[in-house]
């Protein structure tokens, strides 16, 4: 069901259930029958218009893009949010990679016949490499495989070069080696941002290697929402699951592709350490005649709400004949298991204040005198615009 159809249905329900005091009783049973996506405000994502002007070819170390309201081509949200991606703390000097000699860069890729890096746009379609599928990603707060179209959504294009180890076996080609830092900086505090990863895997001859990420920002955690089996999240690490046989394709399960949620609220920066891990397929890295490396992509989106601003949730408990019920107890439980309680007033109304936009909560109701069916609802908090109501059974 589309959002438009959902709103139309609500208007029909409201017209039939208007109470004497002019408030609407949105029946809980109807809400629970609707798909979660129908209740959602659209997410904000990266599209071609997110970059001001035409994205230049790299290599570069910093770029800023604006998140736009889905669907493509996107428009700025009411409260614009931009994200700046920065590479820093390069641990090695690159070969033929330009000013500053980066090893990890935006807008680079393999060059055949020369050790000088080939340049490519720093910001591009998510399907520019590795044949990803839409269903490997999610932009929805419930993590369902929907909301990202790899032909429409864009991402930062990155390259992790291994040319600086040409002909070397130290570090060993089955090592996991720290290369640089990648920091995402948001222009406004955000809650639970999503990162979308494409093509974390490359090869030269029989040596496979993959870019991997370690989350370094304290107080945050990671959850894999969607992706192929090759993309794995373990603690604070995002890795390629293949011990051997690492290649470049999402669909063939040789490169990591999918969506990972960064768990937290009030987030302004997220920093990862960038690693390269070899699978030991040959004893030496790279080759003398071309700049080998892992070409991969990283996109960003925010589900439902662009900021971590406080929102409220309110509603009413009524009897089967529409009268407000006094003294019913409402319990709200968030995703961390924390609870809050509210009581209905003499007219059956209740309200929770100071909730985080974008989080998913469970609201349940209890009364000594009445039973409710259903007696709980799962709510994704996009704003303060809708009520959550409960109707007592006969």
User: Do residues 262 and 270 touch, judged by C-beta distance below 8 A?
Assistant: yes
User: Do residues 382 and 40 touch, judged by C-beta distance below 8 A?
Assistant: yes
At 386 the pLDDT is 60
Confidence of residue 383 (pLDDT cuts 50, 70, 90): low
- Spell out the domains of the chain, with CATH numbers in brackets: 3-41+309-391 (2.60.40.10), 44-301 (no CATH)
Tokens of 40: 């959602």
Decide the pairing of beta strands 390-391 and 310-318. parallel
Count other C-beta atoms under 10 Å from residue 260's C-beta.
22
Percent of the chain with pLDDT over 90: 65
How far apart CA 381 and CA 27 sit, in angstroms, is 18
328 versus 31: the higher-pLDDT residue is 328
How far apart CA 53 and CA 171 sit, in angstroms, is 41
Averaged pLDDT score across all residues of the chain? 86
Confidence of residue 94 (pLDDT cuts 50, 70, 90): very high
How far apart CA 183 and CA 220 sit, in angstroms, is 14
Tell me which residue of 295, 299, 251 sits closest to 132, measured CA to CA.
251
Whether 40 shows a pLDDT value over 90: the answer reads: no
Confidence of residue 382 (pLDDT cuts 50, 70, 90): low
Tokens of 137: 């990603």
Average pLDDT over residues 78-90: 94
At 225 the pLDDT is 96
How far apart CA 379 and CA 180 sit, in angstroms, is 40
Give the model confidence (pLDDT) of 244-289 as tens digits. Answer: 999 999 999 999 999 999 999 899 999 999 999 999 999 999 988 8
CA distances from 65 to 128, 266, 290, 307 (A): 18, 20, 31, 16
Whether 79 shows a pLDDT value over 90: the answer reads: no
Residue 234 exposure: Cα atoms within 13 Å on the Cβ side: 8
Give strand pairing partners of 342.
330
Across the chain, which distance is largest between two alpha carbons, in Å? 82
At 294 the pLDDT is 98
User: Do residues 106 and 184 touch, judged by C-beta distance below 8 A?
Assistant: no
Percent of the chain with pLDDT over 70: 86
Average pLDDT over residues 80-85: 96
Q: DSSP for 327-374?
A: T-EEEEE-TTS-EEEEE--TTSEEEEEEEETT-EEEEEEE-SS--BSS
At 1 the pLDDT is 33
At 203 the pLDDT is 96
User: Do residues 187 and 83 touch, judged by C-beta distance below 8 A?
Assistant: yes
Give the model confidence (pLDDT) of 47-67 as tens digits. Answer: 999 999 999 999 999 999 999
Average pLDDT over residues 108-112: 89
Q: Sign of the CA dihedral 77, 80, 81, 84?
A: positive
How far apart CA 159 and CA 94 sit, in angstroms, is 12
Tokens of 128: 């520019």
Give the model confidence (pLDDT) of 146-196 as tens digits. Answer: 889 999 999 999 999 999 999 999 999 999 999 999 999 999 999 999 999
How far apart CA 320 and CA 13 sit, in angstroms, is 16
How far apart CA 304 and CA 38 sit, in angstroms, is 12
215 versus 359: the higher-pLDDT residue is 215
Give strand pairing partners of 79.
none
At 119 the pLDDT is 93
Average pLDDT over residues 6-25: 36
- At 164 the three-state DSSP class reads helix
Q: Is the pTM of this model over 0.85?
A: no
Confidence of residue 42 (pLDDT cuts 50, 70, 90): low
How far apart CA 162 and CA 202 sit, in angstroms, is 10
Give the model confidence (pLDDT) of 284-341 as tens digits. Answer: 999 888 899 999 999 999 985 444 456 788 889 999 888 899 999 999 988 767 788 9
């Amino acid at each position: 069901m589309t959002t438009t159809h959902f709103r139309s249905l609500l208007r029909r329900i409201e017209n039939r259930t208007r109470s004497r005091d002019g408030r609407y009783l949105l029946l809980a049973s109807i809400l629970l029958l609707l798909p979660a996506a129908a209740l959602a405000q659209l997410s904000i994502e990266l599209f071609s218009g997110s970059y001001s002007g035409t994205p230049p070819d790299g290599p570069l170390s910093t770029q800023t893009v604006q998140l736009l309201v889905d669907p493509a081509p996107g428009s700025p949200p009411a409260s614009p949010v931009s994200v700046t991606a920065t590479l820093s703390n390069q641990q090695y000097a690159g070969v033929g990679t330009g000013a500053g000699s980066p090893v990890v860069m935006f807008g680079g890729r393999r060059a055949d016949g020369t050790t000088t890096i080939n340049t490519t746009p720093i910001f591009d379609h998510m399907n520019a490499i590795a044949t990803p599928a839409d269903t490997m990603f999610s932009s929805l707060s419930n993590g369902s495989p929907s909301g990202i179209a790899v032909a429409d959504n864009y991402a930062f294009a990155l390259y992790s070069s291994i040319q600086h180890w040409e002909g070397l076996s130290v570090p060993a080609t089955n090592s996991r080696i720290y290369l640089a830092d990648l920091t995402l900086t948001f222009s406004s505090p955000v809650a639970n941002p999503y990162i979308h990863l494409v093509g974390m895997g490359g090869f030269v001859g029989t040596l496979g290697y993959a870019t991997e990420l370690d989350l370094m920002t304290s107080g945050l955690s990671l959850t894999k929402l969607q992706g192929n089996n090759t993309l794995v999240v373990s603690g604070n690490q995002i890795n390629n699951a293949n011990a051997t046989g690492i290649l470049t394709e999402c669909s063939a399960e040789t490169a990591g592709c999918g969506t990972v949620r960064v768990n937290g609220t009030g987030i302004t920066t997220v920093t990862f350490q960038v690693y390269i891990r070899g699978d030991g397929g040959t004893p030496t890295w790279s080759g003398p005649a071309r700049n080998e490396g892992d070409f991969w992509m990283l996109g960003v989106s925010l589900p439902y709400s662009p900021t971590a601003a406080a929102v409220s949730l309110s509603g009413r408990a009524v009897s089967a004949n529409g009268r407000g019920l006094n003294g019913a107890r409402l319990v709200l439980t968030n995703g961390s298991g924390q609870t809050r309680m509210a009581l209905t007033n003499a007219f059956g109304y209740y309200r929770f204040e100071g909730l985080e936009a974008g989080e998913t909560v469970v609201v349940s109701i209890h009364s000594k005198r009445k039973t409710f069916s259903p007696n709980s609802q799962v709510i994704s908090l996009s704003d303060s615009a809708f009520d959550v109501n409960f109707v007592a059974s006969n």
